[in-house]
Amino acid sequence: MEVANETVIKKPKRLTSVVWNHFERVRKADLCYAVCVHCNKKLSGSSNSGTTHLRNHLMRCLKRFNYDVSQLLSAKKRKKENTLTIANISYDEGQRKEEYLKPTIVKYEPEQRKDEVFNVQSSWFDQDRSRLDLARMIILHGYPLAMVEHVGFKVFVKNLQPLFDVVPNSTVELSCMEIYGKERQKVHDMLSKLQGRINLAVEMWSSPENTNHVCMMAHYIGDDWKLQKKILNFVTLDSSHTDDLLSGVIIKCLMDWDIGSKLFAVTLDDFSTNDDIVLRIKEQILENKSRLSNGQLLDVRSAAHVLNSIVQDAMEALRVVLQKIRGTVRYVKSSQSIQGKFKEMVLQTGINSQKNLVLDCPIRWNSTYLMLETAIEYRNAFCQLPDLDLDLALSDEEWEWASSITGYLKLFVEIINVFSSNKCPTANIYFPEICHVHIQLIDWCKSPDNFLSSLAAKMKAKFDKYWSKCSLSLAVAAILDPRFKMKLVEYYYSQIYGSTALERIKEVSDGLKELFSTYSICSTLMDQGSALPLGSLPSSSNDGRDRLKGFDKFLHETSQSQTAISDLEKYLDEPVFPHNCNFNILNWWRVHTPRYPILSMMARDVLGTPMSTVSQESAFHAGGRVLDSCRCPLTPETRQALICTQDWLRIQSDDPGPSSSHYALPLYVETN
């Protein structure tokens, strides 16, 4: 037989790859073969063939016998790492082979529990855990669920871990829902234990399929005095939804999360939203017997959204001028020869600008501002361009309009950048910016140009509606900044209101004292052993103590008033804190909580109020937030689970604490 002529070759010292622990090298005449000790298959064993083909065979072979191949993979990694430092190691070459661990062959146990503790003497592969890790990865990075059906993904996973059975799309969806359920319970437990109050931000989303969605997010300052936010619900609305339906969705969210008693403020993204929505929420809170004084609930509208709306008025007024400038820029950029002529005109007119002409993206108005800003600098060159279509030529008056409105847009770009780029947007940062807009609108309305003055009047009318609703909330938040206190309100109100400034300042002062009085009463009741949540008043019921709730308030006002008010007065009477760009207001209040125990409770709730709901990526987008197309085909329940859980997992991954890595444990423990 031919096999009789084959001789087993003793492995020379240079055969150091771990794969040779699974092959015998034999020679037949002048040819060398590698014979697998598991299946007796013969492969090329010459030194020129390398070991890649042997390793590939071994991976397939071991999988058929349900052996763990992790040691084979890890040994390859260790070999690579060792060769990187070989020049620095002195050793006896005769011991070289012993430096590599002999792979431990461990069979895969399908019934192994996913929560089983890893044994350092063995190595187990866990299909259930890997399935959940895959689902968690898809959630965290926003990958489409269908990626598990992609051929490239399946090949990658099989090469990475042949023991893993790639699960179908439906199974991944169920795994995502399982993770959502567990993470939701964690968030619910955390919110229920929160000492402070919760602010709810409500933002409308659209989708490529023209469906509307509402995203509800909780904003709060935790017990560690850090600003936090978590998406609670992402609900798909019926195409014919009304304000009644929207208020019902919000109320259901509060009930599902059991946070009605903790609610401090509701922030809506559309300043023109019907006030009845917040009124219905107030009524629901009153029915649940938890309220602020006089049933108050802060009704806030997003500052960035009102500024965006004002900008759209300016864009619409300048629409014809924008079309001409856009057409002129497109004409200049249409060919190299025209660009050359344009550069000649720039030199002839003495323009020193080094900016390049830009064509805007109409749905992102900050790009329109950049186009206008650059075009105005090249105004004289545009006017000298030969062969320019007369329909694109701007009159001197139109250039003046463009220049003035560009100045308006510059202010709005700067302010929205302040709002959207701030990593800790506490409520105190908004008041000075919004007041500056107010002052500028008053000034713009005085323009002698009828076009500009009428535009400014329209913008101011829209702004006034927002200001009448939110100015008190903005002012109170600014007062709670120890660098400003009442002085900032006095400074801006004197410019805005002139002779009536003192009356307006008193309104702010009275509102501040009323809110503080609410917290003072609650603090007194809590000291007396009441189980009321912070910021709540006694509720209406039939027990004897509740019949005396008026007496509680009378007792507080007559015997405790001076002590409670002194907390606020002490804060206001003390000098303002030096203005510092690195000032951390939350850290300041954390440190000064013992000095202002009641006022610090109020500050935590007020400063955590979201005065703007716009995200950085959509700050200048004319159409608002748009849902990803890959999530449109999903069911509403799955869509909500993916969006909410992604938000929660991202917060965990940003947390350096040990809890953030609980799902990133190594899948294998190597045997030493």
CB atoms within 10 A of CB 561: 13
Question: What does the pLDDT read at residue 7?
Answer: 57
Average pLDDT, the chain: 79
Question: What does the pLDDT read at residue 65?
Answer: 56
- H/E stretch holding 42: strand 42-44
Extents of the domains making up the chain: 18-67, 176-302+613-649, 303-421, 427-524+583-612
**Low-confidence winner among 42-56, 62-76, 111-125, 332-346 (lowest mean pLDDT):** 111-125
Q: Is the whole-model pTM more than 0.85?
A: no
For residue 203, the 8-state DSSP code is E
pLDDT band at 6 (very low <50, low <70, confident <90, very high): low
Question: What does the pLDDT read at residue 493?
Answer: 97
Show the CA angle centred on residue 558, arms to residues 555 and 559, nearest 5°.
Answer: 75
Residue 543 has pLDDT above 80, yes or no: no
Residue 325 has pLDDT above 90, yes or no: yes
Residue 393 has pLDDT above 90, yes or no: no
Residue 94 has pLDDT above 70, yes or no: no
Q: Cα–Cα distance between 224 and 302 in angstroms, integer?
A: 26
Residue 88 has pLDDT above 50, yes or no: no
Which of the pair, 621 or 494, is modelled with greater confidence? 494
**Low-confidence winner among 53-67, 179-193, 563-577 (lowest mean pLDDT):** 53-67
Pairing of strands 298-301, 42-44: unpaired
**Low-confidence winner among 283-287, 559-563, 575-579, 618-622 (lowest mean pLDDT):** 559-563
pLDDT band at 392 (very low <50, low <70, confident <90, very high): confident
* Terminal alpha carbon distance of the chain: 43
What is the sign of the dihedral through the CA atoms of 178, 181, 184 and 190? negative
Contact (Cβ atoms closer than 8 angstroms) between residue 651 and residue 230? yes
pLDDT band at 407 (very low <50, low <70, confident <90, very high): very high
Residue 403 has pLDDT above 80, yes or no: yes
Residue where the block lists tokens 């799902």: 663
Residue 450 has pLDDT above 50, yes or no: yes
pLDDT digits over 429-443, tens only? 999 999 999 999 999
pLDDT band at 410 (very low <50, low <70, confident <90, very high): very high
pLDDT digits over 174-210, tens only? 999 999 999 999 999 999 999 899 999 999 888 888 8
Q: Concatenate the DSSP letters of all residues of 492-558 into one string.
A: HHHHHHGGGHHHHHHHHHHHHHHHHHHHHHHHHHHHTT--PPTT--PPP-SSHHHHTHHHHHHHIII
Residue 78 has pLDDT above 80, yes or no: no
Orientation angle between helical segments 70-84 and 52-64, nearest 10 degrees = 150
Q: Which of 50-64, 112-126, 365-379, 512-526 has the highest mean pLDDT?
A: 365-379
- Once rounded to an integer, what is the mean pLDDT over residues 109-136? 64
CB atoms within 10 A of CB 128: 13
- φ, ψ dihedrals at 221, nearest 5°: -110, 120
CB atoms within 10 A of CB 571: 19
Question: What does the pLDDT read at residue 106?
Answer: 39
Residue where the block lists tokens 């922030």: 267
- φ, ψ dihedrals at 237, nearest 5°: -90, 150
Identify the architecture of domain 176-302+613-649 in CATH: 2-Layer Sandwich (3.30)
Contact (Cβ atoms closer than 8 angstroms) between residue 332 and residue 339? yes
Residue 544 has pLDDT above 90, yes or no: no
pLDDT band at 606 (very low <50, low <70, confident <90, very high): very high
Question: What does the pLDDT read at residue 286?
Answer: 66
Residue 258 has pLDDT above 60, yes or no: yes
What is the sign of the dihedral through the CA atoms of 651, 654, 658 and 664? positive
pLDDT digits over 609-661, tens only? 999 987 777 778 877 788 888 888 889 999 999 999 999 998 776 644 333 33
Contact (Cβ atoms closer than 8 angstroms) between residue 420 and residue 615? yes
- Once rounded to an integer, what is the mean pLDDT over residues 436-463? 95
Residue 32 has pLDDT above 60, yes or no: yes
